[in-house]
Structure 1
């Protein structure tokens, strides 16, 4: 597991979309990944986010020059996805190591996919957490927003969000905690109703626990994404806190902070709507 490389694709929903673009992408999903059930609703921005997010595995396999007919999407009993390639012209050992585990996530204007390659039982233990650094609903105070998220946090985590450092610091710390928890919960294949307060992340000590027991063997990669997003006639900047979680089976868990673009360029790929749309005709090949 130590040699399983992690790769992340991030798709910026950086502009509005047209009906024609929605329909072209929806057709791709319907024909190439029929196991994904998304209601056809062109006026719903969340529907388009789902469509674009589920196109990311197709794009990734296209970049690997593997035709759609040469791979299939598989899923475990608890909803963890992996891609199995055709064993043609592969040795048995290479075939076993060719499984691609992935997890999809999105929030607001950012869609993402985390993936790794190796044996099936290892690669499915991957999760991605994405959280926009903003209050919800827009306009509420940071203390009120923190209070609304308190049910997802432990008492120690809440205490770490001391507002003495200012609203901006408290909000970012909250988003780091939420993205860490989201990534881990999805990596282990827990359903949406999982109690987030069962998990505790001590960022200062770089430690994590579940139900009071240390979470060992995990790698958490923590990074930011900053987007320029056009909405109607306005251009605004959005900031996101992201975490990729993967179980490596080591003695301890590690927290790796990526603070610069240079830190990310080897394993995180950023694209936008136009870049995705340019390859739409090729994704069905």
Structure 2
């Protein structure tokens, strides 16, 4: 079983023009290029690893203070997620002293690099908007570079394809989440399919809503049912009005996670929402590792821990 990778998305049947939902054109990366980092918490962590991560975050991340609690797995998830921007800037060969992590009034984060010889035009295009979060064993960060007022409009949503609480039926789980869905969404999710596909469709729909809400900077508590994602028709609505100008990138990440002496498979539906300002919105499905490798980078705990000494440089 691979540690992390892409898997085909569940079919929603034909698109409005009768064609398959496979094979959508992959967007060009020249304008507002998007890069995603996903970190697999593929094994248990040690106290020494927790301490090293906590120290780096305490030194380098000024906007968030993480309470020291090495026994709390969510605390470790938060530390790993906060380290992703540090890793991203390290890969871009920008020293920590040469960039600032800023925040808009709506809570959207962006990075400003030191101008250092850049022309004013290039400097304005060097801003990096990003959003990060974690779900289960998966920590994710999405970033895009360009003008500040454009790049902050990005968000990522990830939803594990599993029932909650463990052991309940898929039907019961869907019912418990139905208040987040419109009648049309519920019909699309449950129509003529088995439990596995229903669960994946539900997870995809919730990830779409999460990504959009994070991209626009709405606070916790936003009513998911105000949004409607009609995936078979490739349309998105908010309060009954079309959501135009958005790009939704959709893929599935599969993890192999060590639980004591067993390797457990976990699947996550993942969505990136970015406002490009076009006249319509589009849904782009990534189905293979080859398609994802051009803009999604997968790492694990060992790889992150290995670069810790370099993150403060």
TM-score by length of 1: 0.98
1:260-279 mapped onto 2 (5 Å cutoff): 260-279=288-307
Aligned partner of residue 158 in structure 1, secondary structure: helix
- The residue that corresponds to 1:197 in the other structure is 225
Q: Does 1:168 align with 2:214?
A: no
Shift of 1:37: 2.0
Shift of 1:99: 0.1
State the number of aligned residues. Answer: 285
Shift of 1:239: 0.7
> How far apart, in 1, do the equivalents of 2:260 and 2:62 lie?
32
Partners of 1:73 and 1:84 within 8 A in 2: yes
> How far apart, in 2, do the equivalents of 1:231 and 1:52 lie?
19
Aligned partner of residue 138 in structure 1, secondary structure: coil
Shift of 1:35: 1.2
- The residue that corresponds to 1:71 in the other structure is 99
Aligned partner of residue 29 in structure 1, secondary structure: helix
> How far apart, in 2, do the equivalents of 1:82 and 1:125 lie?
10
- The residue that corresponds to 1:141 in the other structure is 169
Q: Gapped runs of 5+ residues in structure 1?
A: none
Shift of 1:164: 3.5
Deviations 1:152-191 (Å, cap 9, x if unpaired)? 1111111112264111111010001000000000000000
Among residues 128, 131, 138, which one is paired with 2:156 in the alignment? 128
Q: Gapped runs of 5+ residues in structure 2?
A: 1-28
1:1-285 mapped onto 2 (5 Å cutoff): 3-162=31-190, 164-285=192-313
> How far apart, in 2, do the equivalents of 1:12 and 1:99 lie?
27
> How far apart, in 1, do the equivalents of 2:224 and 2:67 lie?
29
RMSD, aligned CA: 1.1
Aligned partner of residue 165 in structure 1, secondary structure: coil
4+ residue runs over 2 A deviation: none
